[in-house]
Amino acid sequence: MDFAGTSARALAAAATVLTLLSGCVVVTSGGFEDPPRLPGNPGDGFGATGAPVSPEEANRTAESALTDVERFWSTAYPRLADGAAFQPVRGGHHPYTRNDPPPACGDAPGEYQPNAFYCPAGDFIAWDAEVLLPQLHQDFGALLTGVVLAHEYGHGVQARLGVTDQPTVVLEQQADCYAGAWVADVIAGRSTGFAAPSAQQLDDTVAGILQLRDEPGTSATNPQAHGNAFDRIRAFQDGVERGAGRCAEYDAQNLPITEVPFTSAQEAATGGDLPYAQTVELLGTDVQEYWARAYPRIAGGAAWAPLRIVPFDGAAPDCAGRTAPDGAGSLDGQAFYCASGGFVAFDDTRLGPALHQRIGDNALGMLLGGLFAQAAQERRGGSSTDRDGRLTTDCLAGTWTNDLLRRGPDSDVRLSPGDLDEAVTALLTLGRSAQNASAGAFDRIAEFRDGTLEGLPACVS
């Protein structure tokens, strides 16, 4: 978040792009990190944090995934290629380690990197079986291993279709979309190697995709750009929801890219985060002003009644019939909307500072935006606790983000690079499927994305 050029140090995880070869996975520098755990969250976050996964187990999962991805493309590819039959990669599958590096790819020597890639020169797929896949499998589950390799196979499909002249960020997100199309096939029960995933497993996978994002401030025009987490998750979900045919339509003219560089040296140095107290004050004022403008459009012209923001220390303020943003779970008692009192409240000693410190300033934006959207949904006579109402609320929260995205550089409050990723991370952290049976984070992010990209019309018919 940026306000008149003032910001504080960002704590978002940085990522490094390793792309000497085609379609490399982006890996997090300094190791892998789960979405931040907050006060009151049970367990260890999203990751499937069991026993360490051996290279042998990671390779078995990888080979099973590749066999299944080839099964998927044997049916899906002819629909994209005017009936032409699908041909699996000719150069095979190559797990590698520090002591057994990958084959050379054209003129690029085979050197060890914690990575996965498709090599167009040799038409093969290779992956790090020592660090990358075992760690991703351990932290986020086997399905993410499949998604990583389905992404790389997506680059092989691009080569077969002759679609390689787009900007790197478009090709990478098209491969993300193709991976999502494979996951849709798994969800439909057609996979021979993977059971249909639970809502929690989908959330785990999305949490893993957060680790495969570009560093905040990367320009989409960078020849190594893969995309921020918001865009990569959008592309993945696009494939899940709409299939490979939709992915094949991606090009530089129709793909919504939100990844932008920092606009000043100061913003780059600080990461785009405002100090905690300033974040609460500025975002609280801004979301209030937004709903004063937006609410009449979804409530038949009715005026917005100002909503007080009540940070609390320790004991929550009294309210008859209060409801938490998720209806239950990790936020219950730490943040809620009080209809009878006309206020929203959140724990200002644990929850608020934890969101800010562990995710970034726009995690507070996600919290406040969700509370205000809940109030808007309930005030217009809708539910915010059943599944449909919860998803509508998330969509409405995204409409404030849409408003922020449309602002010019002279606006008092605007989004900084990394803010959309912070919002997605906050949704994952605060909307875990295990805590909220009505709607998992996978579906909630999709609704938030629709509101963010399309505004109010996406949420209210």
pLDDT in tens, 40-85: 443 344 445 567 899 999 999 999 999 999 999 999 999 999 999 9
Q: Vertex 136, ends 68 and 221: CA angle to 5°?
A: 90
Confidence label for 320 from pLDDT (cuts 50, 70 and 90): confident
Pairing of strands 308-312, 2-3: unpaired
For 279, the 3-state DSSP assignment is helix
Q: Is the pLDDT of residue 369 over 70?
A: yes
Higher pLDDT, 159 or 228: 159
pLDDT at 434: 40
For 239, the 3-state DSSP assignment is helix
Q: Is the pTM of this model over 0.95?
A: no
Confidence label for 13 from pLDDT (cuts 50, 70 and 90): very low
CA distance 145 to 151: 10
pLDDT at 73: 98
CA distance 13 to 210: 9
**Tokens for 168?**
């790197």
pLDDT in tens, 393-415: 999 999 999 999 888 777 888 88
pLDDT in tens, 342-365: 999 999 999 999 999 988 899 999
Q: Is the pLDDT of residue 454 over 60?
A: yes
For the purposes of burial, counting CB atoms within 10 Å of the CB of 82, is it exposed (0-12), middle (13-18) or buried (19 or more)? exposed
Confidence label for 178 from pLDDT (cuts 50, 70 and 90): very high
Q: Of all helices (H) and strands (E), which one includes residue 211?
A: none
Average pLDDT, the chain: 82
For the purposes of burial, counting CB atoms within 10 Å of the CB of 125, is it exposed (0-12), middle (13-18) or buried (19 or more)? buried
Confidence label for 18 from pLDDT (cuts 50, 70 and 90): very low
Higher pLDDT, 429 or 399: 399
pLDDT at 363: 93
pLDDT in tens, 87-139: 999 999 999 999 999 999 998 888 999 999 999 999 999 999 999 999 999 98
Pairing of strands 308-312, 124-128: unpaired
pLDDT at 30: 34
Higher pLDDT, 320 or 45: 320
CA distance 91 to 265: 45
Confidence label for 291 from pLDDT (cuts 50, 70 and 90): very high
